[in-house]
């Protein structure tokens, strides 16, 4: 290239550079505007707590039902429906269980959600989960929530009654007596099945529900803006864990004063020791990097045009676990490295590990029916000595039951109150085991949410009363609240066939199954002398429960159910073959709830 050509190119470049510099730079994508609405997509999940108790004996078609959201419904880092919003529904079907066939059933249809600012949003959603149990979608109509299966049409129950009658007849009348006894036992069982319904469906207040949006929900921009303002001015909004709100100010290039508008300068709150130990996980879609912890803690002075985004502070998830070998013996020599914890099929790092360090909330549930009467007089002395093994900070509540359930003493660390309560129990009546367990489990969950929950049942485990709560419902309540049930099975009194038949009619529940499913154990006490050792043995077993803690690796948006799986390292073999693991199955990521 000649010298003249090079000079020409240089001169041309010098002329073009000022023009290029005068052009505007590429426009950055605008941040969220408060005027922009939100669209909650179909299939998005929300979780809520039941405020209106439901029961198939007392609820009816057309009844109105209220829920409150248990966490923010978040879309693209912004709040569409805030926590503690009211959700209303209507019962579209309520059916009790049949005498021979059919399970109790409730169906509901959501209508609208009322936000904190008073806005009403039409809501079309379907229930996908009740507690920990998935709800099967219905082929037609609203998804149905079903109760437990009763003994209607159960040929096995009739056969049991016939077999028991045959045994008694054989003992007292030889072969002919066996024949008559079998027919009599089968007939009595069949008649009992015709006279009794299957278990009712009971959904108490605070039951957790998960729902999925059937159609996209459009949230107007002005509603999003008011939601941000209400959240900013709410008492205690300043840095209250576990949700922190960050104010993202809009940038308006057309407003020359926008750049000079002062950002809110907020008073910094000193973090607690627990908060310093918890790593925050950002889920904001586009948090402004110029916002520091000092000016993000309190949005009360926020600009009215502000848009609400989220920074979720994830708390530690704690899991209690009991491990047994193939023979059923508890393994108490494991270390942190022996365990593997998975949340939503993703392995988590175990960051805390202990054995019997968390305080206990223990419910002592005493059967006061006639069959356990011989034990009542000695129980005060035996229980007082056994409960003395607990730590000073552990609390105990006392329940007694026959046909009905009574809470004799609330949770207390005063062992003398429990002893006095035991002395006031008077024997007599039937045996309603499932309701006694259900009531005590529910009480512990509400009264002591941050403690380890244990129920110790003292009974002959021969249920003779049809419960209001179902067996599966009671198991679900125990798993949701991380409650383990232990059963001390007394010998009771020998009964004639006619008195034993009610326990064969189905629907009365199985103490052994509830105990097994919750990670507990049935310990036999054949007489008063062995009751002392049995109760002491249960207290000892409580010190063999491992507590594992982890911070979830993924910050899923609030309002989600997360499944938990706990197993041992591969060198220990396969679960349910080489060992048995008993641990909670998951949790709901609710706002402000300790997990």
Q: What is the structure's pLDDT at 262?
A: 39
For residue 572, give the DSSP letter: G
Residues 135 and 44 in one domain: yes
E strands, 545-593, where? 546-550, 561-568, 579-583, 586-588
Residues 496 and 564 in one domain: no
Residues 285 and 368 in one domain: no
86: domain CATH number?
2.40.128.260
Give a yes or no: residue 97 inside a domain: yes
Q: Which comes out higher in pLDDT, residue 288 or 139?
A: 139
45: tokens are: 């999940």
- Whole-angstrom distance, CA of residue 553 vs CA of residue 573: 26
Nearest to 242 by CA among 591, 541, 595, 477: 591
Contact 159, 186 (CB under 8 A): yes
Q: Which comes out higher in pLDDT, residue 563 or 257?
A: 563
39-81: per-residue pLDDT in tens? 899 999 898 989 998 989 899 999 999 999 988 888 888 888 9
Nearest to 83 by CA among 135, 48, 111: 48
Give a yes or no: residue 12 inside a domain: no
pLDDT of 277 strictly over 90: no
Contact 106, 56 (CB under 8 A): yes
Check whether the bond before 242 is cis (ω within 30° of 0): yes
Q: What is the structure's pLDDT at 108?
A: 93
CA distances from 35 to 19, 210, 310, 407, 552 (A): 36, 30, 18, 54, 34
Contacts of 103 by beta carbon, 8 Å cutoff, 6+ apart? 97, 146, 147, 148, 149, 150, 198, 201
Residues 436 and 325 in one domain: no
Backbone angles phi, psi at 311, to 5 degrees: -130, 105
| Packing angle of the helix pair 433-447, 471-480 (nearest 10 deg) | 20
pLDDT of 123 strictly over 50: yes
Bridge partners of residue 213, in order along the sequence: 125
pLDDT band, very low/low/confident/very high, at 100 (cuts 50, 70, 90): low
- Whole-angstrom distance, CA of residue 56 vs CA of residue 147: 9
Contact 336, 533 (CB under 8 A): no
Residues 267 and 333 in one domain: no
Give a yes or no: residue 226 inside a domain: no
Residues 292 and 425 in one domain: no
Q: Using CA atoms in the order 73, 443, 109, 308, what is the torsion angle rounded to 10 degrees? A: -10
Instruction: Kindly tell me the sign of the dihedral angle through the C-alpha atoms of 49, 52, 58, 63.
Output: negative
Contact 291, 31 (CB under 8 A): no
Give a yes or no: residue 503 inside a domain: yes
The Cβ-side half-sphere exposure at 556, using a 13 Å CA radius, reads 18
Give a yes or no: residue 285 inside a domain: yes
Q: Based on C-alpha coordinates, what's the Rg of the chain?
A: 31
Three-state secondary structure of 229-279: HHHHHCCCCCCCCCEEEEEECCCCCCCCCCCCCCCCCCCCCCCCHHHHHCC
Q: What is the structure's pLDDT at 578?
A: 92
Residues 426 and 324 in one domain: no
Bridge partners of residue 399, in order along the sequence: 365, 407
Bridge partners of residue 406, in order along the sequence: 400
Residue position matching structure tokens 């005068």: 22
- Whole-angstrom distance, CA of residue 312 vs CA of residue 592: 11
14: tokens are: 């010098």
Give a yes or no: residue 7 inside a domain: no
Residues 424 and 472 in one domain: yes
Q: What is the structure's pLDDT at 8?
A: 54
Bridge partners of residue 485, in order along the sequence: 455
Judged by phi (left if over 0) then psi (alpha if -120 to 50, else beta), residue 242 lies in alpha
Contact 195, 99 (CB under 8 A): yes
* Most confidently predicted of 50-59, 171-180, 547-556: 50-59
DSSP for 396-436, please give it: EEEEEESSSEEEEEEEES-HHHHHHHHHT----S---HHHH
Q: How many domains does the chain have?
A: 4
Q: What is the structure's pLDDT at 504?
A: 39
pLDDT of 244 strictly over 70: no
455-471: per-residue pLDDT in tens? 999 998 888 888 888 78
Q: What is the structure's pLDDT at 224?
A: 83
Contacts of 247 by beta carbon, 8 Å cutoff, 6+ apart? 232, 264, 291, 296, 299, 302, 303, 306, 307, 308
Least confident of 129-138, 339-348, 553-562: 553-562
3-state secondary structure of 167: helix
DSSP for 48-59, please give it: EEE-S-EETTT-
Give a yes or no: residue 191 inside a domain: no
Residues 373 and 404 in one domain: yes
Q: Which strands sit side by side in the sheet containing 579-583, from one edge to the other?
A: 352-355, 546-550, 317-325, 579-583
32: tokens are: 């969220």
Residue position matching structure tokens 């179909």: 42
Angle at 106 between CA 103 and CA 111, to 5 degrees: 165
Residues 322 and 374 in one domain: no
- Whole-angstrom distance, CA of residue 200 vs CA of residue 469: 7
Q: Which comes out higher in pLDDT, residue 220 or 409?
A: 409
Contacts of 516 by beta carbon, 8 Å cutoff, 6+ apart? 522
pLDDT of 233 strictly over 70: no
- Whole-angstrom distance, CA of residue 444 vs CA of residue 407: 12
Give a yes or no: residue 278 inside a domain: yes
Over the chain, what is the mean pLDDT?
73
Residues 323 and 432 in one domain: no
Strands 208-213 and 125-130: antiparallel
- Chain length of the chain: 595
524: containing domain: 358-544
For the chain, first and last CA: distance in Å? 75
526-551: per-residue pLDDT in tens? 777 788 888 888 887 787 788 899 98
383-395: per-residue pLDDT in tens? 888 888 888 999 9
**Averaged pLDDT for residues 118-140:** 85
369: domain CATH number?
3.40.50.410
Residues 378 and 470 in one domain: yes
Nearest to 287 by CA among 77, 557, 9, 58: 77
Nearest to 227 by CA among 303, 116, 120, 121: 116
């Amino acid at each position: 290239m000649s010298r003249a050509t090079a000079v020409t190119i240089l001169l041309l470049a010098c002329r073009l550079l000022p023009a290029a510099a005068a052009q505007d730079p590429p426009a950055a994508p605008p941040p969220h505007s408060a005027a922009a609405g939100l669209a909650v997509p179909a299939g998005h999940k929300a979780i809520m707590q039941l405020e209106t108790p439901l029961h198939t004996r007392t609820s009816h078609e057309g009844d109105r039902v209220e829920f409150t959201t248990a966490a923010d419904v978040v879309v693209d880092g912004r709040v569409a429906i805030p926590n503690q919003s009211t959700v209303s529904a209507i019962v579209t079907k309520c059916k009790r269980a049949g005498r021979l066939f059919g399970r109790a059933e409730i169906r509901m249809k959501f209508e609208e959600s009322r936000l904190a600012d008073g806005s009403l949003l039409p809501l079309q959603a379907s229930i996908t989960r009740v507690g920990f149990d998935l709800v099967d979608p219905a082929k037609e109509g609203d998804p149905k929530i079903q109760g437990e299966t009763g003994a209607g049409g159960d040929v096995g129950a009739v056969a049991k009654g016939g077999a028991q009658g045959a045994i008694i007849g054989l003992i007292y009348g030889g072969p002919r007596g066996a024949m008559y006894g079998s027919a009599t036992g089968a007939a009595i069982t069949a008649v009992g099945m015709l006279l009794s319904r299957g278990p009712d469906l009971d959904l108490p207040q605070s039951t957790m529900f998960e729902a999925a949006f059937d159609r996209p929900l459009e949230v107007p921009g002005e509603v999003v803006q008011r939601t941000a303002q209400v959240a900013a001015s709410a008492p205690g909004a300043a840095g209250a864990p576990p949700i922190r709100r960050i104010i993202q100010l809009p940038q308006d290039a057309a407003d020359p004063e926008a750049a000079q508008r002062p950002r809110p300068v907020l008073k910094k709150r000193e973090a607690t020791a627990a908060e310093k130990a918890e790593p925050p996980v950002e889920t904001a879609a586009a948090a402004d990097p110029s916002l520091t912890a000092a000016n993000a803690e309190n949005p009360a002075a926020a600009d009215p045009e502000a848009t609400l985004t989220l920074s979720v502070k994830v708390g530690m998830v704690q899991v209690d676990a009991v491990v047994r070998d193939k023979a059923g013996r508890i393994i108490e020599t494991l270390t942190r490295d022996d365990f593997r914890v998975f949340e939503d099929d993703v392995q988590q790092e175990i960051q805390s590990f202990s054995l019997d360090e968390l305080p206990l909330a223990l419910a002592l549930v005493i059967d006061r029916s006639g069959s356990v009467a011989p034990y009542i007089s000695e129980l005060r002395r035996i229980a007082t000595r056994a409960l003395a093994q607990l730590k000073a900070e552990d609390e105990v509540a006392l329940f007694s039951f026959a046909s009905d359930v009574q809470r004799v003493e609330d949770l207390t660390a005063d062992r003398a109150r429990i002893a006095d309560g035991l002395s006031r129990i008077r024997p007599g009546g039937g045996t309603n085991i499932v309701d006694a367990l259900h009531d005590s489990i529910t009480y512990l969950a509400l009264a002591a949410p941050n403690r380890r929950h244990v129920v110790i049942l003292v009974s002959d485990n021969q249920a003779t009363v049809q419960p209001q709560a179902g067996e599966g419902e009671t198991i679900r309540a125990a798993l949701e609240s991380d409650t383990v049930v232990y059963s001390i099975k007394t010998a009771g009194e020998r009964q004639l066939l006619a008195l034993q038949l009610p326990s064969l009619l189905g629907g009365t529940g199985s103490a052994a199954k509830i105990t097994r499913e919750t990670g507990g154990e049935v310990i036999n006490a054949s007489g008063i002398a062995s009751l002392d050792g049995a109760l002491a043995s249960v207290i000892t077993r409580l010190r063999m429960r491992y507590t594992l803690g982890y911070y979830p690796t993924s910050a899923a948006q609030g309002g989600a159910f997360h499944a938990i799986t706990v197993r041992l390292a591969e060198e220990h073999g396969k679960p349910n073959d080489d060992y048995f693991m008993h641990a909670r199955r998951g949790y709901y990521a609710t706002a402000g709830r300790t997990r």
